[in-house]
């Protein structure tokens, strides 16, 4: 029966025209090109690299996209530590106009959202 239905659908012109696409259509990617320092800062977490005392250790990367200034540090896997590192970045380098991150759970937590709002100039 399945073969018969497949054969009929494949030979039917109206069925072929009404068929929905099976792949997801994606829009064109648009480049993000900052024109000055601290216009866009990228954040990323890499790891876990290893465990110390049962806690996961990650690399936390902060990079100014325009100047390519990069800071990399080992952190414990908690949003509060990441927020402290970001505040330290702002104190040393300056406050970014926009932040690009990987949308991981640490970056979308309420603690991170509230903490980064308080960092805005």
Model pLDDT, residue 34: 93
Model pLDDT, residue 64: 93
Reported as type and span, the H/E element at residue 99 is: strand 99-100
Length of the chain: 121
Residues in contact with 87: Cβ distance below 8 Å, sequence separation at least 6, in sequence order = 115, 119
- How close are the terminal C-alpha atoms of the chain, in Å? 68
CA-nearest of 49, 96, 101 to 76 is 49
Q: How far apart are CA 32 and CA 68, in angstroms?
A: 14
Q: How far apart are CA 18 and CA 13, in angstroms?
A: 9
pTM for this prediction: 0.61
Q: How far apart are CA 75 and CA 86, in angstroms?
A: 12
121 residues of the chain, pLDDT tens digit each: 888 888 887 888 877 777 676 777 677 778 888 999 999 988 888 877 777 777 778 888 889 999 999 988 888 767 777 777 778 888 888 888 888 877 666 666 676 666 666 555 5
Q: Compute how many other C-beta atoms are within 10 angstroms of the C-beta atom of residue 20.
A: 4
């Amino acid at each position: 029966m399945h073969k018969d239905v497949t054969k009929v659908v494949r030979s039917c012109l109206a069925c072929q025209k009404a068929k929905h696409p099976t792949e997801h259509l994606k829009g064109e990617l648009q480049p993000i090109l900052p024109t000055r320092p601290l216009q866009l800062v990228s954040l990323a977490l890499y790891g876990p690299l290893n465990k110390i005392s049962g806690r996961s250790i990650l690399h936390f990367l902060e990079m100014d996209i325009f100047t390519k200034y990069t800071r990399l540090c080992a952190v414990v896997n908690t949003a509060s530590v990441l927020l402290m590192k970001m505040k330290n970045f702002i104190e040393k380098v300056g406050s970014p106009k926009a932040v690009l991150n990987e949308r991981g759970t640490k970056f979308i937590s309420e603690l991170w959202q509230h903490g980064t709002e308080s960092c805005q100039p």
